[in-house]
A and B are shown apart, each in its own frame.
Chain A
């Protein structure tokens, strides 16, 4: 047991040490030194995570829950830093460290000319540390620490190219929008402490039934269930971090950061923190159907409407970004349908294939000399065979092609929603089903525009086109493998079996997933069965439509766009969400600040109250002006010395 304690501790410390060395001593260790030290740090974390995974999942060890140190004690309440290691944590650790390791290696190639090389490695290792702290936490305090720390690193990395105006705009926006979520999250934590008297997961989850039924009044006399309020507040945090509507606006802009971090942070790991958190809190969420409905509806809106936006993007990274938003919506829908296991399952498969798609997009971007507009690409499959095949694998996984990873996780979600009895599940079912078609359409629109069809780049770029170096392609291949097989491997355990054991709690009456999974007869049978279900044909229709519109009859999209100009404008402006926030919140905040300052402080307080006693001030000023001729400080020092002498004298005399 003691052995494993060290394993956990070093899992988080190894990347932290790497980050500190690369960050503080970047100049001394040099570029190679920085990437070696951080890669080794993350590799150690990955190996230790794999050991943890084997220990927990394969050997079936007891859940580990212990404190590392006491952060503080106030009123006898202990705020600890500690680890809770169960199967959910173990799985997350492996996913985080594996994707992180791939991204570290990939970065060697992607950033090799960048002057901020060491700084970049320091940041991504720091991110790995923060994310591990988040998933390994055994209490809300540490969860919040990790939560905000990943936000910090995200801020630093989106603004990594700090001379770009768009980048430093995007990182500020990302941080502030996340802070709106964290605002709710922190209030949720405060509510947990108030009603449970502790921030320790185990203690809190153990008392849910005592707190269930208690109420709190917020507006007037309306009594709210405490659990509902807590869950909704916590979920607001998840909405920020996992970019759910209406707090989604920061994620597309976060693409201003270098591509490796789009893969690591804004696709595979950090943005899934909200999903992880809600799954971790399943013992709370299960006791509030109201909160589950909120989760379900928000997720469904995100899944469908963010997918639409992917259809009109021309920037290759932004297509993948909107796809990420939409897939996060799927995961959230799963949570709302109490299919936490399906949500986490999709989180895991998505981490692999979406990281793959991002890194493949990055590979394309390198080859295209940092051109990201898909209208200037086309026919790349001839020049970049590895990137082409791995992208195809990623896309097939994303749209849910039978046997690929995404198929199992996405079908589990769709089926769970179909069986769910929670209010709003009808709408959610419609959204996720329609989403399948939309996903297939935008994914293969991108795929065809980039890898097939006419070569639309200029002559200079074409003449330099070639496959990217092995540091880039090897991570692509290593990510492509799990994107194919990971679904089939874990489907039986995670969805039909008892993979998560006590980590995830579902009330029997909410167990839609279990109801459906009772009919599960192995991954092969499920893949075969897919051919008689809606999702498969919807996806196929999406691929076909993409082929027809962008390969067969490429003039049609322009005509559709001209015909439905209003719709295109609406989508192109992202439903005007950015414009709205810009005017109402950013502009309104500044306006309010100006008013409060100019009118409140300057006019009323200073103007009326302070200068209203102008006579007094004038009189004083008159006095002071006379002595303010250079002798003042002499005079004042004399005063102090006088006080000193006086004090000293009395002390001395009275002893």
Chain B
């Protein structure tokens, strides 16, 4: 019944219009109304996104639920939407997480409630726009516009150092985007179109490929973020309100990784192959180096932020391992598993890091501190919360049966085929991830009650329980039965690999 609805337009515009409606509720006197309106629209958006999954044809790599209208005719710019097995799960992740974020901010945000809620709704629409765009100009508009609500969220509802963090965040990401714009314009002049799928077919010489690849790399690497352009992330997380951190970690980081899949790999396969060594090196540095850095963090949010960077290293490692596998074994068998593993890791990290930031938020709301040393023995006063925290910590440490295991497992299996030492370094996360996560749990959750503030803690209420329980179910479901997610992306990943393995260099 939904098949002829413009579902993608709806998941973009309903939250944006809903956000504007929330804004209209005005001052904080109307805060309850603002909250309810926001919840209503976020739930509606989530429900509308479900047919994207149920109506999805897993047998084809072609774009589905497409919509195409002329937008700026003289420039051949189209309002062109569509999803494949790679972007569809990410849209569902976005609509799902946004509902949780709205609930998470329910009582916590007391000032400028309407603006807060509307910023998240508008950002949801814009992020869905990024994932659904098939026209690169449209993509770019959403990509840039998305920065604004995030900028506001950190800048208005953030911590003490929020101005420094917003500027750092803005500069980093804006700097990256400019290069992407240049690359897109170059591709437009080559193909005469802004359609991303046309870019995929465009033959390109090696030099332009390398330049385009590097331009994209700057834009996407900052977003992922990859070492060494990652230092904005810990600062942004520390200053962002809980909801901002959740969206940042769960979805915005995925946009960078998505960019590699949609742009870099299929448009510049030869350059990707040429520079795969660089990508693999940066990814492994992220996994190992950042793992060590995470170990010594004193601030819980910083620790989870560094852990995010380390986990995202698996994503980029999985994406760029294909050619090394070919060099080592003479076949691409195992490459698709790496890419799929990277995507699974993106989804899983959305759940797990989101959940961990929410957990820190729960504690911060009560104690107004993120310093590990201010805590100790939280389990004594918040046993239910502690159970959730341990579960999500275990998922972060990649325990089988949780979603955190699946992607890392696949990427390690895949990278072993390329080189024993890649797998060796990547697998170090088994030790490092457990070390930094569980050491934090030991110091924060376990032990005797550390001080009077901890002694006075109240366990989580129904609202907090609901959010964490939903995430726990998601984490466990994906860990126990990842098959449905793999099935959705299978055809699209195969198709992507096909693009990656065919040279586009003009002879």
Q: Kindly state whether residue B275 has any CB partner on chain A within 8 Å.
A: no
Q: Kindly state whether residue A215 has any CB partner on chain B within 8 Å.
A: no
Q: What A residues does B438 contact at CB under 8 A?
A: 155, 172, 175-176
Q: Kindly state whether residue A148 has any CB partner on chain B within 8 Å.
A: yes
Q: Which one of B82-90, B204-212, B426-434 contacts A?
A: B426-434
Indicate if the CB atoms of B434 and A175 lie closer than 8 Å: yes
Q: Which one of B145-153, B351-359, B360-368 contacts A?
A: B145-153
Q: What B residues does A190 contact at CB under 8 A?
A: 412-413, 416, 423, 427
Within 8 A of B (CB), among A137-193: 144-145, 148-149, 152, 155-156, 159, 162-163, 165, 168-169, 172, 175-176, 179-180, 182-183, 186-187, 189-191, 193
Indicate if the CB atoms of A144 and B446 lie closer than 8 Å: no
Contacts A175-B438, A216-B420, A633-B115 given; does A610 touch B430 at CB 8 Å: no
Tell me the dominant secondary structure on chain A's binding face: helix
Q: What A residues does B445 contact at CB under 8 A?
A: 162
Number of chain B residues close to chain A: CB under 8 A: 82
Indicate if the CB atoms of B400 and A605 lie closer than 8 Å: no
What distance in Å separates the Cβ of A605 from its nearest Cβ neighbour in chain B?
5
Indicate if the CB atoms of A183 and B427 lie closer than 8 Å: yes
Indicate if the CB atoms of B481 and A69 lie closer than 8 Å: yes
What distance in Å separates the Cβ of A407 from its nearest Cβ neighbour in chain B?
39
B292 in complex: contacting residue of A179, A589, A616, A620, CB < 8 Å: A589
Within 8 A of B (CB), among A297-326: none
Q: Kindly state whether residue B231 has any CB partner on chain A within 8 Å.
A: yes
Q: Kindly state whether residue B458 has any CB partner on chain A within 8 Å.
A: no
CB-based nearest B residue for A162:
B446
Indicate if the CB atoms of A633 and B431 lie closer than 8 Å: no
Q: What B residues does A180 contact at CB under 8 A?
A: 431
CB-based nearest A residue for B336:
A75
Contacts A163-B380, A633-B152 given; does A176 touch B413 at CB 8 Å: no
Q: Kindly state whether residue B180 has any CB partner on chain A within 8 Å.
A: no
Within 8 A of A (CB), among B427-469: 427-428, 430-431, 434-435, 438-439, 442, 445-448
A159 in complex: contacting residue of B412, B431, B435, B446, CB < 8 Å: B446
Contacts A589-B295, A620-B167, A640-B122 given; does A71 touch B483 at CB 8 Å: yes
Indicate if the CB atoms of A650 and B435 lie closer than 8 Å: no
User: Across the A-B interface, how many residue pairs have beta carbons closer than 8 Å?
Assistant: 187
What distance in Å separates the Cβ of A280 from its nearest Cβ neighbour in chain B?
18
Q: Kindly state whether residue B103 has any CB partner on chain A within 8 Å.
A: no
Q: Which one of A59-67, A566-574, A593-601 contacts B?
A: A593-601
Indicate if the CB atoms of A183 and B423 lie closer than 8 Å: no
What distance in Å separates the Cβ of A215 from its nearest Cβ neighbour in chain B?
12
Q: Which one of A46-54, A419-427, A641-649 contacts B?
A: A641-649
Indicate if the CB atoms of A600 and B447 lie closer than 8 Å: no
Indicate if the CB atoms of A621 and B167 lie closer than 8 Å: yes
Within 8 A of A (CB), among B355-407: 377, 379-380, 390, 394, 399-401, 405-406
What distance in Å separates the Cβ of B113 from its nearest Cβ neighbour in chain A?
13
Indicate if the CB atoms of A650 and B20 lie closer than 8 Å: no
Tell me the dominant secondary structure on chain B's binding face: helix
Q: What B residues does A615 contact at CB under 8 A?
A: none
Q: Kindly state whether residue A592 has any CB partner on chain B within 8 Å.
A: yes
Within 8 A of B (CB), among A66-80: 69-75, 77
Q: What B residues does A212 contact at CB under 8 A?
A: none
Within 8 A of B (CB), among A179-209: 179-180, 182-183, 186-187, 189-191, 193-194
Indicate if the CB atoms of B416 and A194 lie closer than 8 Å: yes
Indicate if the CB atoms of B171 and A617 lie closer than 8 Å: yes
Of A144, A594, A639, A651, most buried by chain B (CB within 10 Å of CB) is A651
Indicate if the CB atoms of B413 and A606 lie closer than 8 Å: no
CB-based nearest A residue for B332:
A75
Q: Kindly state whether residue A564 has any CB partner on chain B within 8 Å.
A: no
How far is B169's CA from A621's CA once the two chains are assembled, in angstroms?
Answer: 12
Within 8 A of A (CB), among B207-251: 228, 231
Indicate if the CB atoms of A650 and B423 lie closer than 8 Å: no
CB-based nearest A residue for B116:
A633
Within 8 A of B (CB), among A590-628: 590, 592-594, 596-597, 600-601, 605-606, 609-610, 616-617, 620-621, 624-625, 628
What distance in Å separates the Cβ of B131 from its nearest Cβ neighbour in chain A?
16
Indicate if the CB atoms of B447 and A165 lie closer than 8 Å: yes
Q: What B residues does A625 contact at CB under 8 A?
A: 163
A654 in complex: contacting residue of B70, B119, B152, B334, CB < 8 Å: B70
Contacts A620-B171, A633-B115 given; does A72 touch B289 at CB 8 Å: no
CB-based nearest B residue for A199:
B413
CB-based nearest B residue for A610:
B231
Within 8 A of A (CB), among B290-322: 292-297
What distance in Å separates the Cβ of A646 from its nearest Cβ neighbour in chain B?
9
24 chain-A/chain-B pairs, Cβ below 8 angstroms = A70-B483, A71-B483, A75-B334, A145-B401, A149-B399, A149-B401, A155-B438, A162-B377, A165-B448, A168-B447, A175-B438, A190-B416, A193-B413, A194-B329, A216-B420, A593-B296, A600-B289, A610-B168, A632-B156, A637-B118, A639-B148, A640-B149, A641-B20, A644-B20
Q: Closest 8 CB pairs between A and B?
A: A190-B416, A593-B296, A593-B292, A593-B295, A145-B400, A168-B446, A654-B70, A597-B293
> Which residues of A does B touch, CB under 8 Å?
69-75, 77, 144-145, 148-149, 152, 155-156, 159, 162-163, 165, 168-169, 172, 175-176, 179-180, 182-183, 186-187, 189-191, 193-194, 216, 218, 589-590, 592-594, 596-597, 600-601, 605-606, 609-610, 616-617, 620-621, 624-625, 628, 632-633, 636-637, 639-641, 643-644, 647, 650-651, 654-655
Given A148-B400, A624-B167, A650-B79, 16 more pairs with CB closer than 8 A: A74-B337, A74-B490, A77-B337, A144-B400, A163-B377, A168-B447, A176-B438, A179-B435, A183-B428, A187-B416, A190-B416, A605-B231, A609-B228, A640-B149, A647-B141, A651-B79
